[in-house]
C-alpha cells in the first residue's frame, strides 16, 4: 500500500488519565488502506528542540469519517508536547508504515497487550471481528488507575481479562 | 527549458540533485514520495563486503538542533545488494552510485571489483571515514597515507567514476583531498558526518550513548559557512 506524507487536523485530544491520552486526527486526503499493526510517524509542531518524528501505532481507524486514533503514553518531551495540542491544530504524518498483522478468518484468536502496548490491538480486534473471528483479549496494567479503554475492547469480545499488579 | 546538466569529470547528470548516502536507503523506500527518474542520481546506503548488524542500541539521540547517530554501517552486504536490490533499481532513468566502506584496503578493493561489472552503477563513493583495523582503528581518511592506500588500490580495479567522500574530522582537509585526487579520485564529496556529543547539563554527563557518535542537523550550516 502506498505511503503518504500528509497534514492531518486534530479533531479531539482526550486525556484518559495522568499517563495516557488519545488524539483523533483527520488527514486532508482520503485514507489509504491501513492494516492493523501498522504505524505512523508524527511530526510534533511548534517545538523547536524536537527534531525527530515520533512513531505511534495506529490505535483505531474510521474509514467512513476518514479519521485515525492514536493512543499515546506520556514518556518524554515529545509525547508531553503532543498531549497539549489543541483541537484544530494540524500535524504532519507519514503513514501507513510497517507490515501490520496477518488477519485470520473464522478462527479463535487471543490478543494480549500491556500498558501502551494495547494500542494496536483495538483496530486489530475490529478487523478480526469483522472477519468472523472469536476473540479473547487480555490487557495488562500496572495499577487500577492505569486501566484504560476497556469499554472499547469489550465491543469486540465477550471476555476481557485484566492483569494488574495492584 | 533550462539546461541543468552537470559534468562530474566526464559523468553527465541531467541535474545536480542527488541524495546522499545514508539518507535514502536503496531508493525504493521513497518511491511513494518521489519519482526517482527525476533525480540526477541517488547514492545507495553504505555497503560493506560482508553483512553488518551495526552498533547495539541505543545508536541515535535527538538534540535541540539535530541528532547524534552511530548506526555503524548496518547493511546486508554487497552480495545481497547485487542479488536482491540492484535488479529492482537498475531500470530507473538516473545515475545510481554505491557508497562503499571497508575495514581494510582489501575489503574496499573486493567491493569495488564486484560493483564494477554492474552496468547501471555508474560510480562508487568511497567512504574513508571507516577505521582501518590494521592501523589500530584510525580512520583511513584522517591521514594522507591512509587515503592514498585506499584510493590507489580501488582505482586499479574500478574503471568508472570514483568519488571519495572525505571526513571532516581532520586538521587539514585540503591535503587529504589533494592526496585522494593524486591517487585517481574523479570527484570529492564533502563531507561525512562530524563527531559530536550531547551533554546533559543537569546531570553533568554525556548522553546515554557515546560510541563514535556523529552529529547531523541544522547547525551544520554554521560550521560549513
pLDDT in tens, chain B (225 residues): 899 999 999 999 999 999 999 899 999 999 999 999 999 999 999 999 999 999 888 888 888 778 888 888 899 999 999 999 999 999 999 999 999 999 999 999 999 999 999 999 999 999 998 766 666 667 888 889 999 999 999 999 999 999 999 988 888 999 999 999 999 999 999 988 888 887 878 888 876 655 557 777 766 665 444
State the pLDDT at residue B155. Answer: 98
State the pLDDT at residue B132. Answer: 67
State the pLDDT at residue B191. Answer: 85
Q: Does B33 contact chain A (CB < 8 Å)? A: yes
Contact A5 B33 (CB under 8 A): yes
Contact A49 B66 (CB under 8 A): no
CA distance A155 to A152: 6
CA closest to A52 among chain B residues: B62
CA closest to B66 among chain A residues: A51
Residues 197-216 of B with CB under 8 A from A: none
Contact A52 B67 (CB under 8 A): yes
Q: Does B65 contact chain A (CB < 8 Å)? A: yes
The mean pLDDT of A30-59, rounded to a whole number, is 93
Render pLDDT for A87-118 as a digit per residue (tens, 0 to 9): 999 999 999 999 999 999 999 999 999 999 99
State the pLDDT at residue B211. Answer: 56
Three-state secondary-structure class, residue B40: coil
Contact B63, A51 (CB under 8 A): yes
Three-state secondary-structure class, residue B10: coil
Please list every residue in chain B whose beta carbon sits closer than 8 Å to the beta carbon of residue A51: 62-67, 217
The pair phi, psi for residue A120, each rounded to 5°, is -75, -10
Q: Is the pLDDT of residue A47 over 90?
A: no
Q: Does A4 contact chain B (CB < 8 Å)? A: yes
**What is this structure's pTM?**
0.85
CB atoms within 10 A of CB B160: 17
Q: State the average pLDDT for chain A.
A: 92
Report the half-sphere exposure of A156 (CA within 13 A, side-chain side): 26
Please list every residue in chain A whose beta carbon sits closer than 8 Å to the beta carbon of residue B65: 49, 51
Contact A51 B32 (CB under 8 A): no
Q: Is B130 a catalytic residue?
A: yes
CA distance B2 to A154: 62
CA closest to A98 among chain B residues: B29
Strand order from edge to edge, sheet including A90-97: A54-57, A39-43, A90-97, A4-15, A20-27, A67-73, A60-62
CA distance A10 to A46: 14
CA-based R_g, chain A, Å: 16
| Cell 474510521 belongs to residue | A62
Q: Does A30 contact chain B (CB < 8 Å)? A: no
Three-state secondary-structure class, residue B122: strand
Amino acid at each position: 500500500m502506498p505511503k503518504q506524507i500528509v497534514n492531518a487536523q486534530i479533531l479531539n485530544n482526550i486525556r484518559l488519565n495522568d499517563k495516557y491520552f488519545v488524539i483523533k486526527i483527520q488527514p486532508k486526503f482520503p485514507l489509504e488502506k491501513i492494516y492493523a499493526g501498522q504505524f505512523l510517524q508524527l511530526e510534533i509542531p511548534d517545538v523547536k528542540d524536537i527534531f525527530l518524528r515520533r512513531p505511534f501505532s495506529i490505535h483505531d481507524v474510521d474509514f467512513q469519517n476518514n479519521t485515525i486514533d492514536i493512543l499515546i503514553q506520556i514518556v518524554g518531551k515529545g509525547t508531553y508536547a503532543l498531549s497539549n495540542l489543541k483541537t484544530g491544530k494540524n500535524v504532519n504524518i507519514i503513514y501507513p508504515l510497517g507490515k501490520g498483522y496477518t488477519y485470520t478468518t473464522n478462527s479463535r484468536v487471543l490478543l494480549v497487550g500491556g500498558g501502551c502496548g494495547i494500542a494496536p490491538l483495538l483496530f486489530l480486534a475490529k478487523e478480526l471481528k469483522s472477519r468472523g473471528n472469536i476473540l479473547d483479549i487480555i490487557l495488562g496494567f500496572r495499577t487500577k488507575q492505569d486501566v484504560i479503554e476497556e469499554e472499547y475492547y469489550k465491543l469486540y469480545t465477550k471476555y476481557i481479562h485484566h492483569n494488574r499488579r495492584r | 527549458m533550462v539546461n541543468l546538466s552537470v559534468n562530474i569529470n566526464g559523468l553527465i547528470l541531467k541535474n545536480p540533485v542527488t541524495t546522499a548516502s545514508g539518507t535514502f536507503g536503496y531508493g525504493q523506500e521513497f518511491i511513494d514520495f518521489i519519482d526517482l527518474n527525476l533525480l540526477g542520481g541517488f547514492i545507495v546506503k553504505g555497503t560493506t563486503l560482508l553483512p553488518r548488524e551495526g552498533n547495539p542500541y541505543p545508536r541515535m539521540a535527538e538534540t535541540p538542533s539535530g541528532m547524534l547517530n552511530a548506526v555503524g554501517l548496518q547493511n546486508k552486504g554487497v552480495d545481497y545488494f547485487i542479488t536482491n536490490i540492484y535488479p529492482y533499481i537498475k531500470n530507473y532513468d538516473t545515475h545510481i552510485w554505491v557508497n562503499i566502506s571497508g575495514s581494510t584496503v582489501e575489503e574496499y578493493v573486493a567491493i569495488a571489483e564486484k560493483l564494477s561489472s554492474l552496468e547501471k552503477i555508474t560510480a562508487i563513493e568511497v567512504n574513508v571515514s571507516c577505521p582501518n583495523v590494521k592501523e589500530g582503528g584510525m580512520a583511513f581518511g584522517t591521514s594522507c597515507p591512509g587515503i592514498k592506500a585506499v584510493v590507489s588500490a580501488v582505482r586499479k580495479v574500478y574503471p568508472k567514476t570514483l568519488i571519495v567522500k572525505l571526513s571532516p574530522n581532520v586538521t587539514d582537509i585540503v591535503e587529504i583531498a589533494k592526496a585522494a585526487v593524486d591517487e585517481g579520485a574523479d570527484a570529492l564529496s564533502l563531507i561525512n558526518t562530524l563527531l559530536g556529543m550531547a551533554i546533559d547539563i543537569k546531570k553533568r554527563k554525556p548522553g546515554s550513548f557515546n560510541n563514535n557518535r556523529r552529529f547531523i542537523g541544522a547547525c551544520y550550516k554554521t560550521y560549513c559557512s
